[in-house]
Amino acid sequence: MLKYQQIATEIEKYIEDNKLQQGNKLPVLETLMAQFAASKSTITKALDLLEKKGVVYQVRGSGIFVRRHKRKGYISLLSNQGFKKELEGFHITSEVIELDVRKPTEEAAYNLNMNVEDDVYYVKRVQYMNKKTLCLEESFYNKSIITYLNNEIVSDSIFKYINEGLGLKVGFSDMFLQVNKINEEEAKYLGLETGAPGLYIETIYHLTNGQSFDFSKLTYNYEQSQFFIQANSHFL
């Protein structure tokens, strides 16, 4: 593990252990430099990482402060990539409905940047959170990248397998979000009425090298869907 990642992890642990709250001040840079025997840039890099993750915010001329304005029961929409939910104290299980190798739909092929003649793994699952239906998921995996899947893997965490089993690194993802009335099939699997509200999210996942390997379409049960997102303003 890299030095700056290690430092970031330890600072995060320090915040956790000392139960620091929103606005609490961390030690000054010089102290951190001494404590971790690292140069200023390395400490800064660790703090930048924590800032991206929404753990701290830095105020020039003033200090480094803890940021944790979370609410209970809300799932992080962004760290929602596969298996992180477990870590936030949500118990997620999956029921596999379909799993096979097939040709992709036009839509899936387009989003995965592959040909319609190439193979994909198709997975359809219902996910449960704390025993309630959370979402219906339909995923297409580029078979030339995700070379093998089976029922056992798919019942557990697919992303964990991609990371640890296949040794692939997920780099970034593009999410597209809409709200709609759910159709009959979605209603059936989610245990709701046809026409009920549904949060509909399509995501394209890419490896660190930019290749897209997964196109997923999820319909969330609106009764269970509470998400939070932490945004930074590099936008302005």
Q: Which residues bind its own copies (CB under 8 A)?
A: 23, 41, 49, 52-54, 57, 59, 62, 65, 67, 69-71, 74, 77-79, 81, 84, 163, 169-181, 196-199, 204, 206, 208-210, 220, 222, 225-236
Supply the minimum distance, in Å, between the C-beta of residue 21 and DNA.
Answer: 17
- Interface with DNA includes 179 (CB under 7 A)? no
Q: What's the first-to-final CA gap in the chain, in angstroms?
A: 33
- Candidate ranges 55-63, 92-100, 102-110, 170-178; the one touching DNA (CB under 7 A): 55-63
The Cα-based distances of 228 to 30, 57, 119 in angstroms read: 34, 18, 35
> Which of 171/191 has CB closer to DNA?
171
> Which of 3/206 has CB closer to DNA?
3
Nearest to 136 by CA among 196, 69, 205, 212: 196
Decide if 149 contacts 99 (C-beta within 8 A).
yes
Q: How many CB atoms lie within 10 A of CB 181?
A: 12
Decide if 124 contacts 158 (C-beta within 8 A).
no
Interface residues with DNA (CB under 7 A) are: 2-4, 26, 28-30, 37-42, 44-45, 47, 58-64, 208-209
